[in-house]
């Protein structure tokens, strides 16, 4: 039961908290675990005090391990994985509170259960009935929130979007769940098989079920997949635990071996690599670094199982451009004309993103002059195509701000910033809900379930719908799109006469491809339009399953193995549980999966898993046949559709909400609805003159290239309806 709790032992507990032991044990004497004596506030605060001591001890131990040399090597893939997850101090302190609460819960479980018959479920249902809250709720609430009800614009951290539940959807908050978690101890320990044995190794599942035989999509462009990642980064960011001294190493050296338990940080859940691994065995790699996600206290500060933290706003609100925290948001602004900071480059009329202060701490620099960008999201430099989209969106913001400034010279910097941001966010929402989602997940499905609305205004907003990200969406369902990442980045000179391919793994954490010459940026844009996306099948390029974040070594990490391990880290319920939630029958035997999963994959699953109930959500969901018109199978489709429904209907500021103080006027909204991915590219590149109208699809006879200045083919968003009359005093 202690797996996942690392150094947390019975004897440590007795040493640190001797008084608590007798106090809690007294509760079950003469009672049963289902009906123990009352948990008094005194016991709760005593457990918390003890939890605090133990959490501190764990932190000290983590720091000591690093000082003893268990740290990450200079240019290792494991270190690059930490590049995008630098945590501000206030986030760390929220995470620490959650460690204290979790440890207090664990202590109570250990003491109450003792040797008695006590399954994780009995303890949890006991906890649920008591709903044990901390005496002082402010202790674990990150901030007290006071909302300005008449505010016309979103807050940067997403708070106050929902006036009844001001914390819903904000950053630095727990994910939501639609199924009970399946931690081995009901609290935080890594899940195990039904038999109590270990689940199948995540790397083995990856190599056996997600082979490297990637086909290209015949319809979808690379830009389609890239937009998907950008949307992901707007909605979800789970980060890994780290120490004040830096990232945590869970392996010996640079993955040469597993660490003995006494050298392992208790946040470690490394992936063992089998000796016969067809790739890593030749590299001498036996251990893949993997660190648990940061957790967050729940809104009511109650004791119970772990919830992981979302560090960005759940709303689709442009947070990768503007930031999810006010300090960063301020730093990104130019402080005049409502603009965001940009840098200029010789012979380029359009701006580039600003640079981070300490480039070598978040990028792999080959030359000190290499670019390393600063944006609203820390993952920006992961690949050049991601950085390209960020740059396009930054340019769009400044383009819009400049037009608004010329229409309304009286507007302040603040007004221009907010109005331009509101327009850019509306364009992102429009492109996502009208272009991206129906194309990928089925036009009929998304319109039928009204996930993508059809009339000019929608009136669906409900303050009872929680816009928070569903844990299973971020930690499993949407990660299926990792199977579509193409193996290369394409560049294509003006005129599209040729396409050059660049290996993805040569370009992690260094966006130099965008800046080699004045034409480079546009070459990448043309490349991503001409290049196909990977096919949506469970075949995945080795560029992400063997070479992810490759740096100086000849190997990298395995993203699919990490996706599987992450689902377990988050205690996601099993594939079978989600089948039921999504309206399928629960499978009792492997053969019961036959309607959704092809026979050869059922056979493979049966060889790997002991029991059909053990199948991980990510694995089972990925094996399903696609539903009609979608790139996803039934179960992932259900989770993804539910998420995008909540993201729209639970967002008070969703762009086409009507009849609200902040709603666009009909003339404005009609213009916003002309926005398209193709227009966005035409307006924000120097030399892209031709583009297919449907930019998320490759060029074809039915989707031919048009000239950017053909405004009937690619409509232009005219901002004149934003011009205020001279007698308009609404500012």
Write out the residues near Ca ion by the rule CB under 5 A. Answer: 234, 313, 315, 317, 319
Which of 398, 647 has the CB closer to ligand HEM? 647
- Does residue 559 touch ligand HEM according to CB under 6 A? yes
| Burial of residue 552, with CB atoms counted within 10 A of its CB: 0-12 exposed, 13-18 middle, 19 or more buried | exposed
Task: Please list every residue from 362 through 401 that binds ligand HEM, using CB under 6 A.
Answer: 382-383
**What gap in Å lies between CA 390 and CA 227, rounded to an integer?**
10
x-or-dash string of contact with ligand HEM, 328-367, rule CB under 6 A: ----------------------------------------
In the complex, minimum distance from the CB of residue 481 to ligand HEM, in angstroms, rounded to a whole number: 3
Which of 313, 533 has the CB closer to Ca ion? 313
* Among Ca ion, ligand HEM, none, residue 602 binds (CB under 5-8 Å by kind): none
Active site residue 397: no
- Does residue 232 touch ligand HEM according to CB under 6 A? yes
* Among Ca ion, ligand HEM, none, residue 247 binds (CB under 5-8 Å by kind): none
**Closest residue by Cα to residue 685 from 195, 379, 352, 276:** 352
* Among Ca ion, ligand HEM, none, residue 481 binds (CB under 5-8 Å by kind): ligand HEM
Using alpha carbons only, give the angle 726, 728, 731 rounded to the nearest 5 degrees. Answer: 115
Which of 237, 654 has the CB closer to ligand HEM? 237
In the complex, minimum distance from the CB of residue 543 to ligand HEM, in angstroms, rounded to a whole number: 8
- 3-class DSSP assignment, residue 500: strand
Task: State the catalytic residue, choosing from 233, 305, 507, 531.
Answer: 233
Answer for which of 485, 509, 623, 677 binds ligand HEM (CB under 6 A) is 485
Q: What are phi and psi of 648, to 5 degrees?
A: -85, -55
In the complex, minimum distance from the CB of residue 474 to ligand HEM, in angstroms, rounded to a whole number: 4
In the complex, minimum distance from the CB of residue 640 to ligand HEM, in angstroms, rounded to a whole number: 10
Q: What are phi and psi of 705, to 5 degrees?
A: -75, 145
Tell me the HSE value of 297 on the side-chain side, using a 13 A CA sphere: 28
**What gap in Å lies between CA 449 and CA 395, rounded to an integer?**
34
Q: What are phi and psi of 433, to 5 degrees?
A: -80, -25
Which of 167, 258 has the CB closer to Ca ion? 167
Q: Which residues contact 119 (CB under 8 A, 6 or more apart)?
A: 186
Q: HEC states along 304-354?
A: CCCCEEECCCCCCCCHHHHCCCHHHHHHCECCCCCCECCECCCCCCCCECC
In the complex, minimum distance from the CB of residue 421 to Ca ion, in angstroms, rounded to a whole number: 12
Q: How far is CA 434 from CA 258, 297, 446, 453, 662, in A?
A: 48, 36, 9, 8, 22
- Does residue 533 touch ligand HEM according to CB under 6 A? no
Which pair of structure tokens corresponds to residue 237?
């960011």
Q: How many CB atoms lie under 10 A from the CB of residue 495?
A: 9
Which of 385, 576 has the CB closer to ligand HEM? 385
In the complex, minimum distance from the CB of residue 559 to ligand HEM, in angstroms, rounded to a whole number: 6
* Among Ca ion, ligand HEM, none, residue 438 binds (CB under 5-8 Å by kind): none
* Among Ca ion, ligand HEM, none, residue 559 binds (CB under 5-8 Å by kind): ligand HEM
- Does residue 229 touch ligand HEM according to CB under 6 A? yes
Answer for which of 267, 298, 390, 482 binds ligand HEM (CB under 6 A) is 482
* Among ligand HEM, Ca ion, none, residue 225 binds (CB under 5-8 Å by kind): ligand HEM
Q: HEC states along 401-425?
A: HHHHHHHCCCCCHHHHHHHHHHHHH
With beta carbons less than 8 A apart as the criterion, state whether 53 and 109 touch: no
Q: Torsion angle of alpha carbons 191, 271, 308, 324, nearest 10°?
A: -160
* Among Ca ion, ligand HEM, none, residue 562 binds (CB under 5-8 Å by kind): ligand HEM
Which of 189, 481 has the CB closer to ligand HEM? 481
Radius of gyration over every alpha carbon of the chain, rounded to an integer in angstroms: 26
Which is it for the CA torsion 677, 679, 685, 688, positive or negative? positive
Task: Please list every residue from 233 through 292 that binds ligand HEM, using CB under 6 A.
Answer: 236-238
Answer for which of 270, 318, 474, 633 binds ligand HEM (CB under 6 A) is 474
Which of 404, 562 has the CB closer to ligand HEM? 562
Q: Could you please report the per-residue DSSP string of 352-383? A: BPPBPSSGGGTS--SSTTS--B--SSTTTTS-
Which of 27, 80 has the CB closer to ligand HEM? 80
Residue whose CB is nearest to Ca ion in the complex, by number: 319
Answer for which of 76, 225, 324, 536 binds ligand HEM (CB under 6 A) is 225
Residue whose CB is nearest to ligand HEM in the complex, by number: 228
Which stretch, 37-45, 158-166, 319-327, 472-480, contacts ligand HEM (CB under 6 A)? 472-480
Residue 519, H or E segment: none
- Does residue 222 touch ligand HEM according to CB under 6 A? no
Look at the block and give the residue holding tokens 């708070």: 159
**What gap in Å lies between CA 240 and CA 289, rounded to an integer?**
11
Which of 233, 679 has the CB closer to ligand HEM? 233
Which stretch, 64-72, 120-128, 344-352, 471-479, contacts ligand HEM (CB under 6 A)? 471-479
- Does residue 82 touch ligand HEM according to CB under 6 A? no
Which of 24, 160 has the CB closer to Ca ion? 160
Q: Could you please report the per-residue DSSP string of 665-680? A: PHHHHHHHTT--HHHH
With beta carbons less than 8 A apart as the criterion, state whether 475 and 566 touch: yes
- Does residue 481 touch ligand HEM according to CB under 6 A? yes
* Among ligand HEM, Ca ion, none, residue 627 binds (CB under 5-8 Å by kind): none
- Does residue 545 touch ligand HEM according to CB under 6 A? no
In the complex, minimum distance from the CB of residue 475 to ligand HEM, in angstroms, rounded to a whole number: 6
Which of 105, 635 has the CB closer to ligand HEM? 635
| Burial of residue 663, with CB atoms counted within 10 A of its CB: 0-12 exposed, 13-18 middle, 19 or more buried | middle
Q: How far is CA 53 from CA 13, 14, 50, 185, 308, in A?
A: 10, 12, 5, 21, 22
Answer for which of 4, 120, 174, 228 binds ligand HEM (CB under 6 A) is 228
* Among ligand HEM, Ca ion, none, residue 547 binds (CB under 5-8 Å by kind): none
The count of chain residues that interact with ligand HEM, using the rule CB under 6 A, is 19
**Closest residue by Cα to residue 618 from 629, 630, 605, 628:** 605
- 3-class DSSP assignment, residue 198: coil
Which of 169, 338 has the CB closer to ligand HEM? 169
* Among Ca ion, ligand HEM, none, residue 429 binds (CB under 5-8 Å by kind): none
- Does residue 431 touch ligand HEM according to CB under 6 A? no
Beta bridge partners of 730: none
Answer for which of 445, 478, 521, 654 binds ligand HEM (CB under 6 A) is 478
- Known catalytic residues are 233
Which positions touch ligand HEM (CB under 6 A)?
225, 228-229, 232, 236-238, 382-383, 474, 478-479, 481-482, 485, 544, 559, 562, 566
């Amino acid at each position: 039961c202690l797996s996942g709790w690392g150094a947390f032992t019975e004897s440590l507990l007795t040493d640190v908290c001797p008084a608590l032991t007798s106090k809690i044990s007294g509760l079950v004497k003469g009672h049963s675990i289902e009906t123990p004596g009352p948990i008094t506030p005194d016991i709760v605060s005593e457990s918390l005090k003890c939890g605090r001591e133990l959490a501190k001890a764990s932190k000290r131990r983590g720091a000591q391990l690093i000082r003893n040399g268990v740290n990450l090597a200079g240019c290792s893939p494991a270190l690059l994985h930490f590049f995008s997850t630098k945590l501000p101090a206030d986030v760390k302190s929220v995470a620490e509170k959650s460690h204290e609460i979790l440890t207090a819960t664990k202590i109570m479980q250990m003491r109450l259960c003792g040797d008695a018959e006590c399954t994780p479920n009995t303890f949890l249902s006991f906890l649920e009935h008591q709903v044990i809250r901390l005496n002082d709720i402010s202790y674990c609430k990150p901030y007290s929130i006071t909302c300005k009800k008449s505010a016309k614009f979103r807050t940067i951290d997403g708070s106050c979007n929902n006036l009844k539940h001001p914390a819903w959807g904000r950053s630095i908050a727990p994910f939501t769940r639609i199924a009970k978690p399946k931690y081995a101890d009901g609290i935080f320990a890594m899940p195990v098989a039904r038999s109590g044995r270990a689940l199948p190794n995540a790397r083995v599942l990856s190599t056996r079920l997600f082979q490297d035989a990637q086909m290209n999509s015949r319809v979808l462009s690379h830009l389609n997949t890239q937009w998907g990642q950008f949307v992901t980064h707007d909605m979800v960011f789970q980060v890994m635990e780290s120490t004040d001294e830096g990232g945590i190493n869970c392996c010996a050296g640079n993955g040469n071996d597993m660490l003995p338990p006494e050298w392992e940080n208790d946040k470690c859940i490394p992936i063992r690599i089998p000796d016969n691994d067809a790739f890593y065995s030749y590299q001498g790699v036996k251990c893949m670094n993997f660190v648990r996600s940061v957790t967050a206290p729940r809104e009511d500060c109650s004791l119970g199982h772990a919830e992981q933290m979302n560090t960005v706003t759940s709303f689709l609100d442009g947070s990768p451009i503007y930031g999810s925290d006010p300090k960063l948001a301020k730093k990104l602004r130019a402080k005049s004309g409502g603009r965001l900071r940009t840098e200029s480059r010789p012979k380029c009329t359009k701006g580039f993103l600003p640079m981070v202060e300490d480039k070598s701490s978040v990028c792999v620099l080959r030359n000190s002059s290499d670019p390393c960008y600063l944006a609203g999201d820390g993952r920006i430099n992961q690949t050049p195509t991601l950085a390209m989209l960020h740059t396009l969106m930054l340019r769009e913001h400044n383009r819009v701000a400049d037009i608004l400034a010329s229409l309304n010279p009286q507007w302040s910097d603040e007004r221009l910033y907010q109005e331009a941001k509101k327009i850019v966010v509306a364009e992102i929402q429009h492109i996502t809900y009208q272009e991206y989602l129906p194309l990928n997940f089925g036009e009929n499905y998304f319109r039928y379930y009204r996930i993508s609305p059809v009339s000019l205004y929608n009136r669906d907003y409900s303050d009872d719908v929680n816009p928070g990200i569903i844990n299973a969406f971020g930690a499993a369902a949407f990660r299926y799109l990792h199977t579509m990442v193409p193996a290369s980045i394409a560049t294509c000179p003006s005129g599209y006469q040729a396409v050059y391919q660049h290996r993805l793994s040569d370009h992690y954490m260094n966006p130099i491809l965008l800046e080699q010459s004045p034409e480079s940026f546009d070459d990448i844009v043309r490349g991503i339009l001409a290049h196909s996306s990977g096919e949506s099948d469970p075949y995945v390029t080795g560029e992400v399953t063997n070479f992810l974040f490759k740096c100086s070594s000849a190997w990298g990490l395995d993203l699919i193995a990490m996706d599987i391990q992450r689902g377990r880290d988050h205690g996601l319920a099993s594939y079978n549980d989600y089948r039921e939630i999504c309206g399928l029958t629960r499978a009792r035997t492997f053969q019961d999966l036959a309607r959704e999963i092809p026979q050869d994959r059922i056979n493979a699953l049966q060889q790997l898993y002991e029991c059909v109930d053990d199948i991980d959500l990510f694995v089972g969901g990925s094996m399903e046949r696609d539903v009609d018109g979608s790139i996803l199978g039934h179960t992932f489709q259900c989770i993804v559709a539910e998420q995008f429904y909540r993201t729209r209907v639970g967002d008070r500021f969703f762009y086409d909400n009507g009849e609200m103080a902040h709603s666009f006027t009909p003339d404005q909204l009609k213009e916003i609805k002309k926005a398209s991915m193709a227009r966005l590219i035409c307006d924000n590149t120097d030399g892209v003159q031709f583009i297919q109208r449907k930019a998320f699809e490759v060029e074809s006879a039915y989707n031919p290239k048009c000239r950017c200045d053909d405004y009937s083919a690619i409509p232009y968003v005219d901002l004149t309806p934003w011009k205020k009359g001279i007698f308009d005093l609404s500012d």
